[in-house]
Structure 1
Amino acid sequence: MHILGIDIGGTGVKGAVIDTAIGELVTERFRLESPRPLTPESLAITIQAVVAQHQWSGPIGIGFPAAIQHGIARTAANIDPSFIGLPVADYFTKQTGCPVYVANDADVAGLAEMRFGAGQNVAGVVLIVTIGTGLGTALFSDGHLLPNTELGHIVLDNGMEAERYASEAVRDLQKLKWKDWGDRFNHYLITMEKLFWPDLIVLGGGASKKLPKFAPRITTQTPVTPAHFLNQAGMIGAALFAEENLDK
């Protein structure tokens, strides 16, 4: 089945038509800058542009940077607070004229990796961490997702919120060398390991492409591997989520 998958990021909104049977893009990725401020109204205009670019009228899956409960946004860490309490799935359905299905952005990236990527056929606990403007997480046990974990907001033992200490945005802002940022990120992974003892950690998002630069700083007992889909996982997983929920 072909579904338009859209990934809402802190810096960019990406979309492509996905073949959900094989987890591959069937159109070129189309990217627009994320609007500032990122409000429901401004984001709707951007999503409409992505839909128009693909001349799309079918179902749409969206990976959204918030905890999503039954289609309603419950948090707003890197987006406008006016999203909190908004039924985003219904809102974007009305704005696009297409049936829209929305889930947490890291969760849908995790769906892609578990179905077709680095987590495929991995038993036990798999933790997926997306490294970007924040730190997104998806947690799976024997292939089953525990949604909306949002573990990038956990407070570390140094008193700092994880994504304000070890995200890619922090590395850029503070101009940290890869080894110094790698030590911070390793601190975060060690904390996750002590909490969940995963069998595999998968790293996605923009910084995952640079894994060789900071891999020597990672000291977890748990194997760590880059995401198969890198920063395409959000679009692919959003389409998979939509397909799973078409008849619900």
Structure 2
Amino acid sequence: MQILGVDIGGSGIKGAIVDTLTGELVSERHRIDTPQPATPEAVAAVLAQLVLHLGWTGPVGCGFPAAIQQGVVRTAANISKAFIGTNIDKLFSEATNCECHNLNDADAAGIAEMHFGEGAGQAGVVLLITIGTGLGTALFTDGNLLPNTELGHVYLENGLEAERFASDAARKLQDLGWKSWGNRFNIYLNTMEKLFWPDLIILGGGASKKFDKFKEQIAIKTPVKPAAFLNQAGIVGAALYAKSKVV
């Protein structure tokens, strides 16, 4: 089954048609800049442009940077607060004339990893962490997703919010070397281990590409692996989520 998967981010909205049986993209990966200001109506209009560009008329899955409950946006840490309370399933469906299903963007990436990546076949508790502007998380137990965990917003023992202390944005803002930042990130991993005792932690997002530069600083018992999917994880996972809603 083919479904259009979309990854809605703060700087770009990216999408491609996905073969949900293999996880492969079967169209070009098209990107349009996120409108500024990124109001609900403006984002919906860009999504409609993307759908039109790809000539798509079927179901659409979207990964979105917020906690989403029954299609309604509940948080706005890194997006316009105008989205809070908006039913984006309804808004995006009306804008595109397609059936749209939305989920948290880190959850989308996690679904892709659990189906086709490092988490495939892994029993027990798996935690995916996306390292970028913030720290996104997706938590699975025996392959089942607990949605909207948003564990980048937990407070660490040093009193700081995790993503303000250990995200890739924090590394860049404070001009930290990979080893110094890796020590910070290990503090966050240690907190996650104490809370959930996962069987596997998977690292996604932009910084995961540099895993070799900070892996020596990771000192927890849980196995930690970089994600198999990189830029297309959110697209593939969003398509898989939409498939689960329409089949």
TM-score range, shorter chain: over 0.9
Shift of 1:8: 1.2
- The letter of the residue matching 1:12 is G
Residue 208 in 1 paired to residue 217 in 2?
no
Letter in 2 for 1:158: N
2:97 corresponds in structure 1 to: 97
Hey, what's the Cα distance between the residues in 2 that align with 1:161 and 1:243?
A: 35
C-alpha distance in 1 between matches for 2:207 and 2:77: 20
In the alignment, which residue of structure 2 is the partner of 1:236? 236
How many angstroms does 1:100 deviate by? Answer: 0.3
Aligned residue number for residue 172 of structure 1: 172
Amino acid across the alignment from 1:218: I
May I ask how many residue pairs the two structures share in their alignment?
A: 247
Indicate if the aligned counterparts of 1:10 and 1:133 stay in contact, CA closer than 8 A. no
Q: Provide the C-alpha distance between the structure 2 equivalents of 1:53 and 1:217, rounded to a whole number of angstroms.
A: 44
List runs of 5+ in structure 2 lacking aligned partners.
none
**2: CA distance, partners of 1:28 / 1:172:** 31
Offset at residue 238 of structure 1 (A): 0.1
User: Secondary structure of 1:21's match?
Assistant: coil
1:152 aligns to what?
152
The normalised TM-score by structure 2 is 0.97
Q: Residues 204 and 231 of structure 1 are in contact (CA less than 8 Å); yes or no, is this contact kept in structure 2?
A: no
Q: C-alpha separation between the residues in 2 aligned to 1:37 and 1:221?
A: 43
Identify the residue that residue 14 of structure 2 maps to in structure 1. Answer: 14
Which runs of structure 2 are paired with 1:114-129 in the superposition (5 Å)? 114-129=114-129
* Counterparts of residues 1-248 of structure 1 (less than 5 Å): 1-247=1-247
Instruction: Return 192-201 or 222-231, whichever deviates more.
Output: 222-231
Please, which runs of 5 or more residues in structure 1 have no aligned partner? none
Q: 2:216 is aligned with what amino acid?
A: P
**CA offsets, 1:191-223, max 9 Å, x none?**
100100100000111111111111111111111
Using the TM superposition, name which of 67-76 and 10-19 deviates more: 10-19
State how far apart, in whole Å, the 1-side matches of 2:131 and 2:47 are: 23
Residue 196 of structure 2 aligns with an amino acid whose one-letter code is: F
Runs of 4+ deviating beyond 3 Å: none
Separation (CA, whole Å) in 2 of partners of 1:46 and 1:168: 27
Identity %: 62
What CA RMSD, in Å, does the superposition of the two structures yield over aligned residues?
1.1
Q: Which amino acid aligns with 2:234?
A: G
Q: What is the Cα deviation at residue 47 of structure 1?
A: 1.2
> Residue 171 of structure 1: CA displacement?
1.6
Q: Which amino acid counterpart does residue 171 of structure 2 have in structure 1?
A: R
2-structure distance, mates of 1:5, 1:132: 20
1:135·1:167 contact (CA, 8 Å) conserved in 2? yes
Q: One-letter code of the match for 1:199? A: D
Aligned equivalents of 1:133 and 1:218: distance in 2?
20
Partner letter of residue 220 of structure 1? I
Give how far 1:175 is off: 1.9
Letter in 2 for 1:71: G
Give, in angstroms, the shift of residue 66 of structure 1: 0.6
In structure 1, the residue corresponding to 2:231 is in which secondary structure?
Answer: helix
- Alpha-carbon distance in 2 for matches of 1:53, 1:179: 43
**Distance in structure 2 (CA, Å) of the matches to 1:83 and 1:115:** 30
